[in-house]
Structure 1
Amino acid sequence: MNDEFYNRGLEKARRKDYAGAIEEFNHALKLTPYFTEAYLQRGLAYYDSGAILKAVSDYTEALKLNPESVEAYYCRGLARVALKNLPGALDDVERAIRLNLNYASAYYLRGIVRRKQGYIQDAIANFKKAAQLYLEQQDKDNCRLCLEQIKQLQPQELPFVQQSPSPNAPILSTNEYFTQLLEKAEKGDTQEALADLNWVLKADPQDAQAYCCRGVVRCKMGNYREAIADFNQALRLNFQDAIVYRNRGKARSILGDHQGAIADLNQALQMQPEDPLVYIARGNAYRAMGNYLGAIQDYSYALKINPDDAQAYYNRGIAYTCMEEMQNALEDYQRAASIFCEQEDWGNYQQVLSNLEKIQKFSPESKKQKYNLLRQRLLRMVGGYWEIAERLIQQKQDYHPGMSDEWYLQKVIDDLERDRGR
């Protein structure tokens, strides 16, 4: 008889007759007071009818009878969220997860709780885990719901970055969610960013922005052919954005398709005519083709837009070197080195110094310029106190007499970098 009451209760709950369902479950529990499922189902009916405290009470009774009921912990956690008892909800949902590590709904609920508690990155991690589990279960609707939650937690827009398009240059985001993935790739976590994008595309194979983003990440990894395939797919899905043409153009140029690269970069400039990154990328393509005047013209235009772009000066210096205009090259290298020094970008700074060394024979002024650059760098390293630098140089002169002034500067810089663990 108790099964009859219980089944009638389930049917009434299905029809949203929650009062009638509760009455049927009451009859079932009078006949069988230790009926765990009846407590659980009556709790669900109470919850759906808005009697949250009564629902919590029934879930608690169910757990007394069956302390390993994953569903009871999950339901009580859900009810406690409604009551704004976040610590209690978190405890319940974590118990549910311990009992079932593949319970996607529990991870989703934990994401909700952590978001409400202000732990945004933890919330994102839980929504991501839930999405992965839903994807494995072929539940794409809930997977997309998780993705939407993640998107809402991302910055609304990544600011335009006026930087050079060197191999390690910052990337523009095309969507709130992808901001985090592109930043992850910038930090070197390209494999993790790629894995994230792969599951996004499994959930929605028509997500054009995801293809664009994956193409950018693949460019960062050096997988240019795969990147081009992703950019092509983004365009087929009608994602017409300058970032697609700019990055596809860069990839095509690296693979030797300079004419195709210029066509892409021209298209990007039609969409964003004041983007210095596109002018520099097109300048690089022209330079690779041997069109040094065209390259210099593009680098110069980029510098009109952003006069502090060190990479534009450096690239223009290379183009001037190819034309054997050494004085212009030296001036551009000098300017690039000064900006790199201000930015404390010592890798690119050293690369500029190496280029200066290569063209020393063409200009007697270059040695002095390199000395001034080294002196400027050392001064920054000692906080602007030249007296400290002089003492360090004197020590090196005492230990290594007879060397050049430039040698002593470089030696002090090298030792300071070693001591600071650079």
Structure 2
Amino acid sequence: MNDDFYNRGLARAKQKDYAGAIAEFTRAIEINPHFADAFCQRGLAYYDSGEILLAVSDYTEALQLNTESVEAYYCRALARVALKNFPGALADANQVIRLNRNHAAAYNLRGIIYRKMGRVHDAIANFKLAADLYLQQKDKDNCRLCLEKIKQLQPKQNLTVVQQRPTPTKPIMSPQEYFTQLLEKAEKGDTRQALEDLNWVLQVDPQDAQAYCCRGVVRYKQGNYREAIADFNQALQLNFQDAIVYRNRGRTRFQLGDHQGAITDFNQALQIKPEDALLYIARGNVYRAMGNYVSAVTDYTKALQINPDDPQAYYNRGLAYAHMEEMQRAIADYQQAASIFCEKEDWKNYEHVVESLKKIQSPSIESKQTQYNMLRQRLLRLVGGYWEIAQRLIDQAKRYYPGMSEEWYMEKVIDDLERDRG
């Protein structure tokens, strides 16, 4: 029976007949004094009719009956804001977030409370977290409202949903983590979905510099290098002066063959982040591609001073040493790289390094074959192309000088023929 009164109360509240709704909820409570939802709904009706204190009383009663009611905490927080009880409202908003870490409206409300308390920085942080959640939920309108609130508080700053660092106690995914998740999605091959999400972010906030940077990375992974550079340029125009922008634009320029442009970007990135080993490796790769092996070795060495356990730096330095024909150093670097890849159980890169190591550790096999073929051709020319004649001369030399190598006998026959012919 009390459910009938409760349902009629919901219907009357929907029709904005708050007095009628209160009467129906009261009948339901009289039948069942432990009906927590009826107290909460009657509180809403009181709130909508302007009876804020009665609303708070009903929400409190509902919470005594159900201490985990997200709705009751949220509604009481709203009522307490109306009563200017900001500490009480903040405590209730915190309880909502404790019970539901993805409650976007609670972060929005907490931002409002902080703003009223004069805590502007905390207000902005919460509006951005709310915007991020609305963004993930594809709630474009509420996301825009949060961004507008941020602009009101920081009219001169570049305002985005992603640049504000979360507070240390933030219990949900931060905006930075959201973009990291998108990049991880792209890394796993789902670049299409990551690109769609980033396009939507930029539709919501066309001034989001970090979103341009992230989209540039995704486009780089897709091989759309010119579009990637356009995104990195836009991020820089929006004053997103971060080493990651220059590093990725440098990588993209490298792919397009703009070696000098790539080095310029890496230099700029290193001014911002001089202890980034990855930047030295990236610049070293460009130097190596340009044939400037000395500068490449210098950069790889610097990277290893920062991170002595980077196998890629060892391998790349080994490649540079091999081009400089400093084979012992190349072998040492390859071996170190292989050892680290082995420890990391990165078997794909381990096998790749081992193959490179084999090529420079046993060049004698290939060179001997090449030398043999060259001697054979010289000898054939001297005997008019008849190998039978050459073989008889070789066999004769073997009888006079037993125990020598095949190449030695061919060289002996060649020397004798050339000497006899003046």
Q: Output the TM-score relative to the length of structure 2.
A: 0.54
Question: Contact between 1:280 and 1:299, CA under 8 Å: does it hold in 2?
Answer: yes
Deviation at 1:308, TM superposition (A): 1.1
**Does structure 1 residue 117 correspond to structure 2 residue 104?**
no
1:10-62 C-alpha deviation (Å, 9 max, x unpaired): xxxxxxxxxxxx9x9538988xx99xx9997545236755624547999xxxx
State whether structure 2 residue 303 is matched by structure 1 residue 302: yes
Distance 1:324 1:174 in 2: 49
Are positions 1:78 and 2:71 aligned together? yes
Structure 2 counterpart of 1:259: 260
CA distance in 1, matches of 2:275, 2:165: 30
Aligned to 2:328: 327
Partner of residue 200, structure 1: 201
* Larger RCO: 1 or 2 (CA < 8 Å, sep 6+): 1
Match of 2:315 in 1: 314
Tell me the distance in 2 between the aligned counterparts of 1:354 and 1:304.
26
Q: Which whole-Å CA distance do the structure 2 matches of 1:138 and 1:126 have between them?
A: 7
Q: Is contact 1:174–1:213 with CA below 8 Å preserved after alignment?
A: no
Distance 1:227 1:155 in 2: 33
Letter of the 1:116 counterpart: R
In the TM superposition, residue 218 of structure 1 has moved relative to its aligned partner by 2.7
Q: For residue 68 of structure 1, what is the aligned residue in structure 2?
A: none
Q: Could you tell me how far 1:139 is from its partner in structure 2? A: 6.3
The corresponding residue for 1:236 is 237
Residues in 1 aligned to 2:268 and 2:184: alpha-carbon distance in whole angstroms: 26
Q: Take 1:207 and 1:195, find their aligned partners in 2: how far apart are those partners?
A: 15
Aligned counterparts of 2:75 and 2:44: Cα–Cα separation in 1: 17
State the match for 2:277 in structure 1: 276
CA distance in 2, matches of 1:289, 1:300: 18
Aligned residue pairs, count: 280
CA separation in 1, counterparts of 2:137 and 2:100?
23
Report which of the two structures shows the higher radius of gyration computed on alpha carbons.
Answer: 2
Aligned to 1:217: 218
**Separation of aligned partners in 2, 1:156 and 1:292:** 48
Structure 2 CA distance, aligned partners of 1:29 and 1:326? 89
* Post-superposition CA distance 1:179-198 (Å, at most 9, x none): 44334444554444333322
Per the TM alignment, residue 350 of structure 1 is displaced from its structure 2 partner at its CA by 1.1
Question: Which letter maps to 2:254?
Answer: S
Letter in 2 for 1:250: R
String of CA shifts for 1:336-377, please: whole Å, max 9, x gaps.
00011111111111110121232243379xxxxxxxxxxxxx
Using the alignment, how far apart are the partners of 1:127 and 1:188 within structure 2? 24
Deviation per residue, 1:138-183 (Å, 9 max, x gap) = 86214778996997879899xxxxxxxxxxxxxxx99465344334
Q: Does 1:141 align with 2:134?
A: no
Per-residue deviation, 1:256: 0.7
Distance 1:113 1:354, change over 3 A: farther
Preserved CA contact (<8 Å) 1:154 1:176: no
Alignment check: 8 A CA contact 2:131 2:146 kept: no
Q: 1:27 to 1:132 in 2, by over 3 A?
A: closer
How do 1:317-396 and structure 2 match up within 5 A?
Answer: 317-362=318-363
CA contact 1:327–1:363 (8 Å) conserved in 2 = no
Deviation at 1:238, TM superposition (A): 1.3
Alpha-carbon distance between aligned partners in 2 of 1:216 and 1:259, rounded to the nearest angstrom: 20
Amino acid at match of 1:45: S
Contact between 1:114 and 1:120, CA under 8 Å: does it hold in 2?
A: no
- 3-state SS of paired residue (1:348): helix
Change (3 A) 1:273 1:131: closer
Q: Distance in 1 between matches of 2:142 and 2:74?
A: 27
Helix, strand or coil at the partner of 1:274: coil
Which consecutive unaligned segments of at least 5 residues does structure 2 have? 1-15, 28-40, 63-68, 78-92, 108-128, 151-159, 366-422
Letter in 1 for 2:239: N
Change beyond 3 A, Cα 1:149–1:227: closer
Per the TM alignment, residue 326 of structure 1 is displaced from its structure 2 partner at its CA by 2.1
1:303 partner letter: L
Identity of aligned residues (%): 54
Change (3 A) 1:228 1:44: same
Instruction: State whether residues 326 and 359 of structure 1, in contact with CA within 8 Å, keep that contact through their aligned partners in structure 2.
Output: yes
Query: Which residue of 1 is the match for residue 247 of structure 2?
Result: 246
CA shift for structure 1 position 209: 1.7
1:221 & 1:115 partners in 2: Cα distance?
38
Measured after TM superposition, the shift of residue 231 of structure 1 is 0.7
Residue 226 of structure 1, CA deviation? 2.0
Q: Which runs of 5+ in 1 are unaligned?
A: 1-21, 59-75, 85-110, 158-172, 365-422
Q: Which residue, 35, 45, 48 being the options, matches 1:44?
A: 48
Q: Report the aligned-residue RMSD.
A: 4.7
Aligned-pair CA distance for 1:227: 1.7
Taking the aligned partners of 2:184 and 2:103, their CA distance within structure 1 comes to: 14
Alpha-carbon shift at residue 80 of structure 1 (Å): 5.2
3-state SS in 2 of match to 1:359: helix
Q: Shift of residue 240 of structure 1?
A: 1.4
Distance 2:364 2:51 in 1: 83
Conservation of the 8 A alpha-carbon contact between 1:154 and 1:177? no
Contact 2:251–2:282 (CA<8 Å) still a contact in 1? yes
The 8 Å contact of residues 127 and 150 in structure 1, kept in 2 or not, is answered as no
How far 1:118 moved relative to its partner? 6.1
Question: 8 Å contact 2:161–2:175 — kept in the other structure?
Answer: no
Letter in 2 for 1:196: D
Corresponding letter in the other structure for 2:283: R
CA displacement at 1:261 relative to structure 2: 0.4
Partner in structure 2 of residue 26 of structure 1: 19
Relative to structure 1, the CA distance from residue 149 to residue 224 in structure 2 (aligned partners, 3 Å threshold; closer, same or farther) is: closer
Contact 1:326 1:362 in 2 (8 A): no
Deviations 1:298-346 (A, max 9, x none): 1112112211110001011111222232222111110000011111111
Partner of 2:293: 292
